[in-house]
Amino acid sequence: MPEGFREDGKFVAIREELDATDRERSLREVNTGIYLFDRELLFRALARIGSNNRKNEYYLTDTIEVLREEGCKVEAFPFAAAAEGTGINSQKDLATVTERINQREIERHMERGVTFVSPARTFVAPGVVIGAGTVVNPWCWVETGVTIGKNCKIGPFAKLRPGTKVGDGSEIGSFVEVNRSTVGKGVCAKHLSYLGDAVIGDGVNIGAGAITANYDGKNKHVTKIGKNALIGSNTVLVAPLVVPERVKTGAGAVVTRGTRMKKGGVVVGIPARQISKKKR
C-alpha cells in the first residue's frame, strides 16, 4: 500500500512501498486512497506523471509531488481513529467493517436512551431514528430509513424495512416484518405478521399471523386500518383496502375491497362478510 511521508513536518509525497527508500518505509502513515483535487490542477498534473517505477505503471499518487513542485497547496489529514481507514478487500473484511459500523450505531442510540437487550445480536443500519425509552430485543434487523418512536418494544426477531415509521408506545414483536408502512401510536403487533404498504391507526391490535396482501403480481397496493381496529389471527387483508375504525375481523378472515364494513362492525369468513351484532 502506498505510504505518505513528511519532511520537516510537512506532507510532501505518497510513495508506493516497492519504490520507497528504507527511511520512507519506516514511516507509519498509510494512504487510504481518499483524495480531494481541484479538477483543472489534477488533469494538468496527470499530464506530467511518468511510469518510471518498479511496476512500470502510472500512479495517481505521483500527482502530489507534481502539484507541490508547482507551488500548489497540498495537505494530508489523519483520521480520528485508525479503524476509519480500514480497507475492504475480502468478504471477511466486509463483515468486520459492517460489525464495527453496527456497533457504532447501537452505541449512538444507547447514548440517547434506547435499550438494547443484546447489542451483539442486533443489527441497526445508519440513518435509523429511535426514540428514548424504546427497548430493542435480540435478533432484530432495522434497516436505513426506519423511524421508531419513544417507549416502543421491538422484537425479538423483528424486521423493520426502509420507509417504516412506528409510533410512540407501539410493540412490534416476534417474527413481525414491517415494510414501507406507518404504524400509529399504541399499536400492538406481537406475533408472526407481515405489514407491507400499510397505514395503521392508533390503538390497532394485529393478531398473530395476520398479513397485508399488498402485491397483486404487478403492483403494490396500500392497506389502511382505522383506529382501534382488532385484526383477528390469520386475517388476510387484500389491498387496496380501507378498514374503518373499531372494525373486528374474525380469525382466518379474508378481507377484500369488496367486503362491506362499517365503523365498529365485525367481519368473518372467506371472503369476509359483515355480521350483525346480537341485541341484548
Positions annotated as catalytic residues are 191
Phi and psi torsions of 204, nearest 5°:
-75, 145
Helix (H) / strand (E) containing 103: helix 91-111
Q: Residues 108, 102: contact at Cβ < 8 Å? A: no
Report d(CA 212, CA 204) in Å as an integer: 14
Report d(CA 11, CA 132) in Å as an integer: 45
Report d(CA 275, CA 258) in Å as an integer: 15
Neighbouring C-beta atoms of residue 238, cutoff 10 Å: 20
Q: Residues 235, 208: contact at Cβ < 8 Å? A: no
Neighbouring C-beta atoms of residue 99, cutoff 10 Å: 12
Neighbouring C-beta atoms of residue 19, cutoff 10 Å: 13
Report d(CA 71, CA 38) in Å as an integer: 14
